[in-house]
Structure 1
Amino acid sequence: MVRGYDPDRPIPPELVDKIVRHGLRAPSAGFSQGWSFLVLTSPEDRGLYWSSTAEDAGPAEGWLARMRDAPLIIVALSNKSAYLDRYAQADKGWTDRDESRWPAPYWDIDTGFAALLMHLTAVNEDLGSCFFGLPAGRVGAFKAAFGVPDEFHPIGALTVGYPGPDKRSPSLRRGHRPVADVVHHGRWASSGEV
């Protein structure tokens, strides 16, 4: 993921459209498609995003400050009610909207899949992209600033743009975990470390 962008290179509108359209091809439980995406390209909208999600603990530093140069922000929003309604339909076999039947929140998972497809499309087009969460305490301010309906919940945002100068994150210096620690065949086996 890229955390610094070239502020002087806008993304062509047809490429923004391609990125978003590829996200809509993500898997969706019951083809519920309980997602929406807030696409912010204008400087005013991007500024409103950053001001509505800014923590009150002082100025943004480091990686977050560099992210502000991204010419595109896509906020991925999930809608749980779309899934509960869909699975209460006759062809799904449930007769109510009981959330306890769900082993995981597929409304968030499917929305995350869609965001990943957008991220991969951006990377495939030689763009940089970074997926990150909104500060929990600022979700209400973000939703109010953009008029997001109550049933939609932001699961995260993608910044997208042409990469700026490479500033390696300290996190990357850790490297990838060994395959043997994360891939298990047949039965769970552990190297003893998590």
Structure 2
Amino acid sequence: MEFADLVRRRRMIRNYDERPVDPAAVDRMLENALHAPSAGFSQGWAFLRLDTADDVARFWAASTPPGQGVDAWSEGLRRAPVVIVPMSSKQAYLDRYAEPDKGWTDRDEKRWPAPYWDIDTGMASLLILLTVVDEDLGACFFGIPPERVPAFREAFGVPATFDPIGAITVGHRAPDRRSPSLKRGRRGLDDVVHRGHWGGPLDHQRSRGS
């Protein structure tokens, strides 16, 4: 598949059938994730691979608020036979940048203009999502409710030094209703690209259609 086609086909899939996913395909997703960029080559990420029915059920039990059960939002997602939970380690980055070639021995978080541990893990997650498309499968990235993170940690023995940035369901696509959010439409280049200067003459020319 051409890369441009792969990018255009990527979308969040919220409904799956119950066919199993080839474990080799999941291997490729995770192998590709390791090629994401990371500040200082810190590679402070980890991926929890849940690909048995018991493990997937435990994930949903741990990440669902008590009493909520299966709702319209999660019903289709729960049919996915694979869940991958990408996690970031801030400590790995603070430790890496305290090494002699970086020299930030105070480990002060204020030195960081943005939480690169989360950003890098997010980029690794995108490589998983793109690999999913290349495998002719579907995936959805979504968040774990913050109040459910302790239960998730306990259920899977996740150490305190790693934080889940979300979860990715993977499976064979089934007919899916379009998300209401898509009614917003995709923003165009002229809406998001500012060349040379934000709000400069070029932007004004574009807004007038010249």
TM bin, normalised by shorter chain, reads over 0.9
Unpaired runs of 5+ residues, structure 1, are none
Q: Structure 1 residue 68: deviation in Å?
A: 0.3
Identity %: 57
Decide whether the 8 Å contact of 1:78 with 1:107 is kept in 2: yes
Decide whether the 8 Å contact of 1:5 with 1:70 is kept in 2: yes
State the aligned residue count.
Answer: 191
Supply the AA of the counterpart residue of 2:34.
L
Structure 2 residue 14 is the aligned partner of structure 1 residue 3? yes
Q: Which residue of 2 aligns with 1:105?
A: 115
SS in structure 2 of the partner of residue 83 of structure 1: helix
Unpaired runs of 5+ residues, structure 2, are 1-11
Question: How well do the aligned residues superpose, as a CA RMSD in angstroms?
Answer: 1.5
Decide whether the 8 Å contact of 1:27 with 1:113 is kept in 2: yes
Q: Which residue of 2 aligns with 1:71?
A: 81
Q: Structure 1 residue 98: deviation in Å?
A: 1.1
SS in structure 2 of the partner of residue 64 of structure 1: coil
Deviates more, 1:24-33 or 1:164-173: 164-173
TM-score, scaled to structure 2: 0.87
> Aligned partners of 2:102 and 2:28: how far apart in 1?
32
Q: Which residue of 2 aligns with 1:60?
A: 70
> Aligned partners of 1:137 and 1:95: how far apart in 2?
33
CA deviations on 1:98-142 (whole Å, 9 max, x unpaired) are 111000000000011111100100011111011111001100000
Return the match for 1:23 from 33, 54, 61: 33
Deviates more, 1:111-120 or 1:58-67: 58-67
Superposition map of 1:1-194 within 5 A: 1-7=12-18, 9-56=19-66, 58-189=68-199
Q: Structure 1 residue 169: deviation in Å?
A: 1.2
> Aligned partners of 2:176 and 2:159: how far apart in 1?
38
Decide whether the 8 Å contact of 1:129 with 1:161 is kept in 2: yes
SS in structure 1 of the partner of residue 165 of structure 2: strand
